[in-house]
Every structure is written in structure tokens, then in C-alpha cells.
A and B are shown apart, each in its own frame.
Chain A
Amino acid sequence: MTLTTDPESARHALTTMWTIRRFEEAVDDMFARGLMHGTMHLSIGQEAVPTGACMALSEGDYITSTHRGHGHCIAKGAKLDAMMAELLAKETGYCRGRGGSMHIADVATGNLGANGIVAGGVPIAAGAGLAVRMRGGSEVVVSFFGDGAVNEGAWHEGVNLAAIWDLPVVFVCENNRYGMSMSVDRAFNVDTLAERAHGYGIPGVTVDGNDPQAVHDAVADAVQRARSGGGPSFVEALTYRWKGHSKSDKNLYRTREEIESWRERDPIAAFEAAVTGGGATAGAATAPALSASDVEECRTLARDRVREAIRTANAAPDADAATLTDAVYAPAGEPIAGGARA
């Protein structure tokens, strides 16, 4: 799939990236104005990774996500109003107000959930891959995580299990250069995190995570390999988070110049330039995928979707404390193994 030359793909990729951007900006704004509670981790600047990766997936494929997971949800096809309602503590939110930003899942679209624990989703992804394998399915699991996860024990154990059992899992690292304040330069003694893949006997590549095409190509290769029984792969996508880690972040660990240099590499601006033919990467012989007005349409659509989600969510009833403990345990179903209940 060539995102920059195929108009439909270009439109989808651009609208998805703008939707993530506008969603995150809206959340940032509501939070700053005291209209939103709790904490959240914004993925502004990283939109190309979930967009490119999820465009390589098919219906039924799974993802596991992270604390910085709004983009993964959106790219996998989650409903914006249910996401926004969750953040606004509404009964109509994905988790009925029980989970908030760090636990949004959309099982219907194969999103097994964001996760508040760094690398928590990695062995879970291996397990979902094991389930697919055992029932003879053809689905693939993409596990998103950040650079920080790559130093967690759970990451190593999950990747190793997927590797020894050839499970259909693609491990996608959003290397945004910092685990909170700890830079990858200080946290790793390897040049690229993809090198870690070789320690588990699986392919590992490093790509430009601000280029949805590069992310897509690497993930699509890995998905194809996983789907055809070739086992897991590791894709490291180099990107950058423009905003702080969370609301407490005063950016003491990085310079204004560094942030500015990455803002100049805005994945959305670069992609717009590429699809309209103005970018350095545009092939001279190819017609631009999108016109300026197409681009404007994508922006407007994204803005309107987010506005509509906010309106719908604000009108919804607040999460109800009367049913707070309802979902602590799932109700019992039928005995699964034959026989009787005593």
C-alpha cells in the first residue's frame, strides 16, 4: 500500500493523523481549563506510528496499547465519542468511567486495551498470539509499547515466548526518546533498540516513526510474516513526544531547542507535503495523491469528528457510583467442561 500516491490511502492516513492530533489537543485544552479530571499522556508528534501500523492490519487483528494510547485506539477504529466520554467520566465511556485514559479498550475492534503498566501489554500480546495459534486462526497481534518498556522484564519474557513459539505477533516500539525523563541514550547501551530483537532470534528493524509510509511498510512486512507462520518481528519507530510525559512534566530534562527541532519534523506536515506533491520524496512522474482542498477536507473532517465527540460525550450521563462494583467480577456462565454443578 502506497500511502503517498494512492488517494484513498492518503486520505485515510491523513484524516487519522489529524483526528489523533485534534483529539489530543482537545484533551490538553479541556484538561488545562479544568474540565477534565485525572491524568493523561498525549501522543502529539507520534501520530504516524499508530496510523501507519494499523493500516497494515485487517479486521479481526488485535492490538495491545500503552498509557499513551489514544492514537492506537483511534487508528484501530475506536469510537471517538465513547473515548471522549470515558475521559469525561461518563457512563457512556468505553469503560463506564472505571478506566479513564490509561485503560481504554475496544474489544469489538480487536483493541485489547491500553495499559497503565509499562510493558504490561507485551506478554498479553504473546498470549493473544498463542490463542490465535492454538485455534488455527489467521489473526495477527500488534503490541505497541514505548522505549521504556524495552528494559522491563515483562518485555523480554513476552518477546521470548512469542519467539520460541513462532507466534503471530508484531512488536512495535514507539521510541519517543524518553521514558518519562530518562533518555534512551542513558537507558540503553545499544545503538538501536531493534538490536534487542536479535537476542531473541527474531527480525528487528528501525524506521522513521514520523513517516507513516515507513512505519506501514515495516509493519506490513512483519504482519505478512506473522500471518504466514513466520513468527514475530520487532519494529522500532523513531519519533518524539512534543508534550510532556503527563501533567506534572516541566520539561527539565530536555531543551527547548530539541523540542523545536522535532516540531520541525512534524509527521503530519511532512505527509501533507508528500501527498500534495510538494515534498522532497514525491516522485516526479507521479500525480499528487491529494489536492490542497482534499487536505483541507481531511483536516475539517478530523476537527468536526472531535468536536462532535465532545458534544456527544458532554451530553451523556455521568458514571454512576450506584453500580461501581458491578464489574469487579464477571457473572458466571455455563459450565464449560460438561458434567454438573454440585
Chain B
Amino acid sequence: MTTTSDTRPASGPVDSAAVEPRTLTYSEAVREAMAQAMAADDRVFLFGEDVGTYGGAFGVSGDLVHRFGTERVRDTPISELGIVGAAVGAGLAGMRPIVEIQFSDFTAQAMDQIANQAAKIHFMLGGAATVPMVLRAPGGSGTGAAAQHSQSLEAWFAHVPGLKVVMPSTAADAKGLLLSAIDDPNPVIVLEHKLLYKQSGPVPEEPVRVPLGETAVRRTGTDVTIVATGVMVSRALEAAERLAADGVSAGVLDPRTLRPLDDRTIVDSVAATGRALLVQEAPKTGGFMSEIAARIVESPAFGRLQAPVSRLCGLDAPIPYAPQLEQAAVPQVDDIVTKAGELVRRW
């Protein structure tokens, strides 16, 4: 379990006093992680559609091509299945590829290489080979890009043994989790969020890793535990602030990695508060919060529940275009305030 100050290393050789916090945007933090990894290790390279001179569809790779050249910041044709497959092969043959997929929706084009190849090769070969690779892709709605450019697909990946799945919600985590993902000898899917790219936060200048598999406690609370991922974390924090004004003490947990999942921190928190509100942008049915709900009710926290475990999710519908429809399709701060308040007052 980590503390609320997730940007600070819990232990390790980097002295936290020496790490001068400065502010970066989430996308700058991603870029800095890639730059530091590429500077430190020749095996690390980035490739994907328009990651070179264009600087990435969301500007994340930015000037990296000018710093590392076109071999290591490599533009690819529009060819998701091919480039993810090439990452699998490059990883098998000793490189440390980072693939950028422009929108996480487009991973559907590459799913064979993700789910049948990357995820399974280490296991199918009895451990004789590893596939170290990182697939970065932005997900989420809120940009008016409609149903094929706005999905939250984390449950697809989290359902596949062999993949690790990361969802950074802060700039510091965007850097620290990506560094851990690049270190990892397994395929890691890093789902960034489009709405977070321009959000700023303190980010250590040093390459400080945030370990995979540690739930962050963003806020402590005694009445209800809110578990949220991606852009829902900041909405949950805003909701918790408003709930506090109404006398409801809501804690906010951010799992940060779905595989491996630190459910211990979640279960412990729910055992203490007796109430769990699970918030995700993705549609409710078969979503990852269903897994977290199951982990809670399978745990000793079950006996401490004072209210049914509750989910607040995106509608079971594709993401629509019209702004008023798009907003209605996924949880907003008001929805979290209302739902958490009900849980506390009704039970």
C-alpha cells in the first residue's frame, strides 16, 4: 500500500529530498519517461503511426524524433496488426519496443498479436522466451470523437492472462508507471487518457519508478471507499471534496494497475468504511469494476459491509457524438456525489 503522496518513492536509493518536484503535463511526463529510457538503454525504441516528425496524434512523442533519430522514433504505416506483431518479434529478439497505438480503439485491429501472441508466448513456451514490450494507447471519451475513438477497453486486456494493464491517472504516475512498464519483461498495456494529457502535476525529474501492482490511496475517508480509474480518479476526488462539505467522509483509491491488481489495499479500506462505490468510465456489463466488486465480496470485508457494493459506470452503449449525449454516457462528478451520498445515508 502506498500513501497519498504517490509521487514520492517509498524507498530506494533516490533520496526524496533530492527529487525536486516540478510540474509537467501528463503527456510531457510520458515523453520524459520514454526519453530517459531511450537515453539509458539502446534497446528501447518507440514506433507507431505519426510518432516521428508529426510528434504523435496527441503530441505525446513531440520532439523525440529530433533527439533520438528516425530509427528509434520510427514512423510506421497505418498497420496496427503489423506493428504490434513487429514489437512482439523485436521483443523476442532482444529489443525493448514501445508501440504507440493512436487510439486504444485501434487495438481491435491488432488483437491477435496482443492476446494470442504477446500475452501467451512466454507461457506457451514454458517460460523459455519473454516478450518485453509496452503498448501505449489513449482511451476514454470526452473529445467528441464518437464511438470508434472513445472507448475504455481496459477489461478486454485485463481478462487476458499474460498481459499487464496499467491506467495512470496523474502526471507522476504516467511517468513512473511507464518506466516500470518498460523495465518489465512482460507485455504491458498502458492505457493513457486523452482528457488527462494536458493535466499538470508534480513529476520527479529523476527516472523514479512507480511499481506495478500498488493501489494508491488518493484520499482517506471513513464513511465510504470510492475506487476509480483513469479520468474518474480526479472526478472522484472532486466528489469527495463536495461530500466532505456535506459531512460525508469519502476515501478515494486508484488501483493504477489492473493486472497485477493490489486488491489488498481496496479490501482493507472497504473493511474499514463498510461501503464501496466503484467508478469506471467503461460500460458496466463485464467491466473491470465488476472484478473489484467480486474481490471485495469474496474477502473478509464482506462481513463488514454496511451497504451493497455499488458500481457507477458508463452506460451499456457506444460513446455518442453529441456533447450532451457524450456527457450523459459516462459518470460525472454530480453522479458520484449523489451515489456516494445515497450509499452513506441510506445504509
Give Cα A158–Cα B110 distance, bound, in whole angstroms.
12
Partner of B44, one of A124, A158, A331, A337: A337
Interface: B209 (CB within 8 A): yes
- Give residues 294-342 of A contacting B (CB, 8 Å): 326-342
Residue of A nearest to B117 (CB): A120
Residue of B nearest to A324 (CB): B123
B186 and A336 contacting across the interface, CB-CB below 8 Å: no
CB proximity of A1 to chain B, nearest CB, Å: 26
Give Cα A97–Cα B306 distance, bound, in whole angstroms.
47
Set of chain B residues within 8 Å of A173, measured between Cβ atoms? none
A342 and B208 contacting across the interface, CB-CB below 8 Å: yes
B85 and A127 contacting across the interface, CB-CB below 8 Å: yes
Interface: B162 (CB within 8 A): yes
Interface: B148 (CB within 8 A): no
Set of chain B residues within 8 Å of A113, measured between Cβ atoms? 121, 124-125, 129
A117 and B89 contacting across the interface, CB-CB below 8 Å: no
CB proximity of B10 to chain A, nearest CB, Å: 6
Interface: B247 (CB within 8 A): no
Interface: B14 (CB within 8 A): yes
Residues 105-137 of chain B, each 1 if its beta carbon lies under 8 Å from chain A, else 0 = 000000011001100011111111110100000
B179 and A329 contacting across the interface, CB-CB below 8 Å: no
A-B contact count (CB 8 A): 215
Residue of B nearest to A98 (CB): B126
Residues A107 and B77 in contact in the complex (CB < 8 Å), given A123-B113, A158-B86, A333-B185: no
Give the size category of A's interface with B. 35 or more
B209 and A340 contacting across the interface, CB-CB below 8 Å: yes
B89 and A131 contacting across the interface, CB-CB below 8 Å: yes
Residue of A nearest to B260 (CB): A329
Interface: B83 (CB within 8 A): yes
A127 and B125 contacting across the interface, CB-CB below 8 Å: no
Interface: B301 (CB within 8 A): no
Partner of A341, one of B36, B40, B128, B211: B211
B86 and A336 contacting across the interface, CB-CB below 8 Å: no
Set of chain B residues within 8 Å of A330, measured between Cβ atoms? 122, 127, 130, 132, 185-186
Partner of A127, one of B13, B37, B90, B176: B90
B12 and A341 contacting across the interface, CB-CB below 8 Å: yes
Q: Which of B48-56, B93-101, B139-147 contacts A (4 or more CB under 8 A)?
A: B93-101
List 15 A-B pairs, Cβ < 8 Å.
A99-B124, A105-B129, A107-B125, A107-B128, A124-B86, A127-B85, A127-B88, A131-B93, A158-B86, A336-B43, A337-B41, A340-B206, A340-B207, A341-B12, A342-B210
Shortest Cβ-Cβ A-B pairs, 3 listed: A127-B89, A123-B85, A157-B82
Residues of B within 8 A of A (CB): 8-14, 36-37, 39-45, 71-72, 76-77, 79, 81-97, 112-113, 116-117, 121-130, 132, 161-162, 164, 176, 179-180, 182-186, 206-211
